[in-house]
Structure 1
Amino acid sequence: MKSDQQRLKEILSSPQRSAEDEQWLQSYLESTDATELRELAADIFQDHLQQDKRLSPDTSTRMWDKIRQQVDITATPVLRPYRKYRWMAAAVLVLAALTYPLLRKSQPKPFLAAASTIKPGGNKAVLTLANGAKVLLTDTGNQVIKAGNLAIQQKQGKLEYEGEAHEANAFNELTTPRGGTFQVSFPDGSRVWLNAASSIKYPLKFEGNRTVILTGQAYFEIAPDPGHPFIVKVGEMEVRVLGTSFDIMAYKDEQVVNTTLVNGAVKVLQGNTSATLHPGQQSTLNPANGKMEIAIANLENVLAWRNGKFELENTGLPTFLRQLSRWYDIEIAVEAPAEEVAAKKFGGQIGRDMDLHDVIKILDLYGVACKLENRKLTVLSVHS
C-alpha cells in the first residue's frame, strides 16, 4: 500500500488528476502537519524546476480556488491562529509545485543573460592580524596561523583560537565579504557565526569585560563567566550578556538594529534607553531617534540564515532583495513602482544553497519579474 507521502508526490507530479485525487488532496492539505508538507512540497517544486514539467491550466486553477476557499491569503498572517498560519505557508508551497510550470508557459520568462550563472555564497573571510597582516580564509582552507604565542587554527569555515596573547590592546578582526560566512571560537569557549558582509573585532586577550565590536549580522553563543560580562558594541548600542545565545542584525543598509535572544538573558543599551530581553524576545532599535521596541521574535525567521535558509514568511520584497544582494554579491536595481515593491510579501522558505537563477524562477512564481545582466538584478514589475 502506498504511503500518504508517496500518493501526494504522485498526485502533484502528474499532469492528470481525477476528482477522487483532488478530493484526497484537499483532505490531506487540511489535516497534515505543515512542516512535513512544506518539506515535501519543496522537494516536488525542485523536481519541477529541473524537469520542466507542465500541468493543465484548469487543473491548477481549480486547486488554487480550493486553497483560497480554505485560507484568505490576503489577510495579515500574524493575526491568524498559529495552525492556520502555518497551513497557509504549506498551501502556498504546494501551489508552487502545482503552478510553476503553468506560469512559465503563460508568462514571459525572466531574462537571464548568457553565461551569467551566479552561485550562492559560502565559507570565506579575511582575518586581519594585530600587526595589520591579512590572511585570506577559504572554504577548503586548513592551516595554523601563528600570532605571537597564539595558534589560530583554520578548519574549513571555522577559526579556533588556542592560548592567550600576553600583549595588551592587541586585536584581530574577522571580515566576511558579500557572499561569505564564517565562524570563530574564542579561548574562553564562546563562539560567533558571522553572516555575509559583516565583521567582528575582538581583543586577543580578554581583560575585565569581554568586549567585541560588530558590524553586519552575527549569532553568538557565549560561554558563562559571571566575573567577565560579554559586551557586543554596535555603533552607540551595547548588548551585555553573561552566558547566552543571541543574534544581532545591524547592517548599515537596514533601518533598524535587531537583537534577538534565544536563551539566557541580555541587556540592550543605547544612551539613556535600556531593556532586558527574555528568551524569545527581540529588541528593535532605530538608531536615528534612539527609540527601542520589544516584541516576541520569530526565532525560525531570525536564525534561518545560520541554518542555511532564506525564511520568507511574511517577508517584504525590499528586505528579501537586500538579503539576495549580500548573499550573492549582486547589485539590485528596481524599475517597478515603489508602492508595489513595498507592498509585496512572501511566504515559505528556500535554501541559501540555490543558484541565483533558481531564486529568480521563484520570484517569477510570486509575480516578481526580473532580469539578470552580469551581476545586476533588475526588478521589472511586481504583480499580486
Structure 2
Amino acid sequence: MKSDQQRLKEILSSPHRSTEDEQWLQSYLESTDAAELREQAADIFRENLQQGNRLPQITSMRMWNKIQQRVDTIETHYYRKYWWLAAAVLVLAVITYPLLQKQQPRPLAVATSAIKPGGSKAVLTLANGSRVTLTDTGNQVIKAGNMAIQQKQGELQYESQDNETNAFNELTTPPGGVFQVSFPDGSHVWLNAASSLKYPLKFKDNRTVILNGQAYFEIAPDARQPFIVKAGEMEVQVLGTSFDIMAYKDEEVVNTTLVEGAVKVLQGNTSALLHPGLQSKLDPATGRMEVQAVNLENVLAWRNGRFELENTDLPAFLRQLARWYNIEIAIEAPAKEVALKKFGGQIGRDMDLQDVLKILDLYGVKCKLENRKLTVLSIHS
C-alpha cells in the first residue's frame, strides 16, 4: 500500500489528476504537517532537476489553485501556518513557466537581460565632501581626519572618536543597495535601499543621527548619552534598544517599530511611548499618530532578505520593488482595482525581477517590463 508521501509525490509529478486525486490532495493539504509537506516538495524538486526535467506547468498551477481556494475559506492564523505552501508552489511555477512561452504570447518580459536583485552597495560622503563608493566585496581602510574607518564587505566600522565634534559622515544606499554601519559605542545600524544616514564622527552629550528612508537600529545602552534618530520632523529618543524606522518620502506614514527596550516617538506636541511589539504610525502632514501591535517578523522581513506580502496591498509592494530593483513604476490598470489587490506570504529578495513578475502574474497582476520601466496593465481575480 502506498504511503501518503508516495501518493503526494506521484500527484505532484503527474500532468493529469483524477477527481479522486484532487479530493485526496485537498484533504491532505488540510491535515498534513507543514514540515512533512515541505520536505516532500523539496525531494520532488531535486529529483526533477537531477534528471534534467521540469515539473509540468499544469501540475504547479493546479496545486496553486487548490491552495488558493483553501486560503480563501480559512482564518488568517490558519493561513499563516501554510504561507510557505503558496511560496513553494510559486517557486515551482517560476521554474516551469518557460514551457508556456512557446504556447502563449505574454507581455511580461520585453527586456532582454535579467534585472538582478539589489546587494550591499553604498556611497560614503566624508566631512570634507569627498565620496567613497562601497561594494559588497570591498575591504579597505578609509581615513577621515584622525579616524580610520574599516570597510569589511557590506559593513563600515568606526573604531575611534578622536575627531572634531562638528565633523559628519553620511552613508547613502542607492535603489537596490543595503549597507551596515557600526559605531564605536557598540551601536549597529542596517540601512535599507534608497536611504541615507547622517551621523557625527564624535558623539557628545547625546548621540544624534538623521535618517531618510528605512533602517534597523541596535543601540548600545548609555544612560548618559541618549540616542536620538531624527526623520523629517519626527524624533525617536532611545536609551538602549532595537527598533526599525521606515520614513520614505513616497510613503504616506512614518512607521517606528520597537523590537526590544523602549523608545519615545515625538513630533510637535504629539508623542508615544512604545513597548516591544508596538508600532507607531505617524502622518507627517497632520501630525496624527496611532500605535498598534504588529508582527515583528513581518516588519523586519527586509533585513532578513525577504519581501513581506502578508496583507500587503499592490501599491505598497510596487514601491518596494522600485526601491530594490531600481526601476520605474507606471500603472495603466484601474486605480480602484490596484488599490484593492492584496497578497499573502513572503518571497525572497534574492530573486531576479523577472521571476518576481511571474509570481505577480499568478496573482492575476499582468505587467509589462521594458528596460527598467514596469507597467501594470491589468488586475484579475
Residue 65 of structure 2 corresponds to 64
SS of 2:356's equivalent in the other structure is helix
Query: Given the alignment, which residue of 116, 120, 129 partners 1:119?
Result: 116
| Gap change, CA 1:171 and 1:40, over 3 Å in 2 | farther
Q: CA deviation at 1:146?
A: 1.1
TM-superposed deviation, 1:64: 3.5
Change (3 A) 1:222 1:88: same
Q: Does 1:178 align with 2:175?
A: yes
Equivalences for residues 238-249 of structure 1 within 5 A:
238-249=235-246
Q: Which amino acid aligns with 2:56?
A: R
Q: Is 1:15 aligned to residue 7 of structure 2?
A: no
23-32 vs 314-323, greater mean Cα deviation? 23-32
2:223 match:
226
> 1:262 and 2:264 equivalent?
no
Alpha-carbon distance between aligned partners in 2 of 1:242 and 1:34, rounded to the nearest angstrom: 41
**TM-score (norm. length: structure 1):** 0.87
Residue 54 (str. 1) matches residue 56 (str. 2): yes
Do the aligned residues in 2 keep the contact of 1:258 with 1:283 (CA within 8 Å)? Answer: yes
SS of 2:303's equivalent in the other structure is helix
Instruction: Please list the CA deviations of residues 10-39 of structure 1 after superposition, one character each: whole Å capped at 9, or x if unmatched.
Output: 532332446665455334322345577579
Q: Distance in 2 between matches of 1:246 and 1:352?
A: 21
The one-character-per-residue Cα deviations of 1:319-368 (angstroms, maximum 9, x if unpaired) are: 01000000000001011110111111111211111111101111111111
1:163 to 160, 178, 200: 160
Q: Is the 8 A contact 1:161 1:187 kept in 2?
A: yes
Contact between 1:45 and 1:97, CA under 8 Å: does it hold in 2? no
Superposed CA RMSD? 3.2
Match of 2:348 among 344, 348, 351: 351
Residue 370 (structure 2) aligned to one of 345, 366, 373: 373
Deviations 1:43-72 (A, max 9, x none): 978999996543548x9658835763x443
Match of 1:231, as an amino acid? I
Partner of 2:83: 89
Amino acid of the residue matched to residue 136 of structure 1? T
Q: What SS does the aligned partner of 1:86 have? A: helix
Residue 28 (structure 1) aligns with: 28
Conserved? CA contact 1:144–1:154, under 8 Å: yes
Between 135-144 and 15-24, report the one with greater CA deviation: 15-24
What letter corresponds to residue 54 of structure 1 in structure 2? P
* Inter-CA distance 34–144: structure 2 relative to 1 (3 Å threshold): same
Q: Give the match's secondary structure for 1:112.
A: coil
CA contact (8 A) 2:147 2:163 kept: no
Relative to structure 1, the CA distance from residue 26 to residue 160 in structure 2 (aligned partners, 3 Å threshold; closer, same or farther) is same
1:311 aligns with 2:308: yes
Q: Does the CA-based 8 Å contact 1:116-1:373 persist in structure 2? A: no
Q: TM-score, normalised by structure 2?
A: 0.88
Residues 236 and 16 (structure 1 numbering): CA distance in 2 closer, same or farther, change over 3 Å? Answer: same
- Which residue of structure 2 aligns with residue 236 of structure 1? 233
Which of 196, 203, 210 is residue 199 of structure 1 equivalent to?
Answer: 196
Q: Which runs of 5+ in 2 are unaligned?
A: none
The AA in structure 2 aligned to 1:25 is: L
Tell me how far apart the structure 2 counterparts of residues 126 and 104 of structure 1 sit (CA, whole Å).
42
Distance in 2 separating the partners of 1:125 and 1:184 = 11
Distance, in Å, in 2 between the alignment partners of 1:353 and 1:115 is: 19
Do the aligned partners of 1:125 and 1:177 also contact (CA within 8 Å) in 2? yes
Moved more, 4-13 or 198-207: 4-13
Structure 1 unmatched ranges of 5 or more = none
Alignment of 1:313-328 (within 5 A): 313-328=310-325
Distance 1:42 1:199 in 2: 40
Relative distance call for 1:367 and 1:145 in structure 2 (3 A) is same
SS of residue paired to 1:85: helix
Give, in whole Å, the separation in 2 of the partners of 1:63 and 1:359. Answer: 16
In the alignment, the residues of structure 2 paired with residue 328 and residue 258 of structure 1 have an alpha-carbon distance, to the nearest angstrom, of 22
2:295 to 279, 298, 308: 298
Kindly tell me the number of residue pairs found equivalent between the two proteins: 376
Q: For 1:200, what is the secondary structure of its paired residue?
A: strand
Query: 2:335 aligns to what?
Result: 338
Q: Which residue of 2 aligns with 1:216?
A: 213
2:265–2:273 contact (8 Å) kept in structure 1: yes
Q: Answer yes or no: is the 8 Å Cα contact 2:87–2:347 preserved in 1.
A: no
Residues 331 and 67 of structure 1: CA distance in aligned 2, closer, same or farther (over 3 Å): closer
Gap change, CA 1:47 and 1:366, over 3 Å in 2: farther
User: What SS class does the counterpart of residue 360 from structure 1 fall into?
Assistant: helix
Distance 1:299 1:13, change over 3 A: farther
Residue aligning to 2:286: 289
CA distance in 1 between partners of 2:40 and 2:289 (Å): 40
Contact 1:34 1:86 in 2 (8 A): no
Q: Offset at 1:235?
A: 0.8
- Relative distance call for 1:163 and 1:39 in structure 2 (3 A) is farther
CA contact (8 A) 1:181 1:193 kept: yes
The residue type paired with residue 29 of structure 1 is L
SS of 2:257's partner is strand
Distance 2:104 2:82 in 1: 25
Percent of counterpart pairs with the same letter? 72
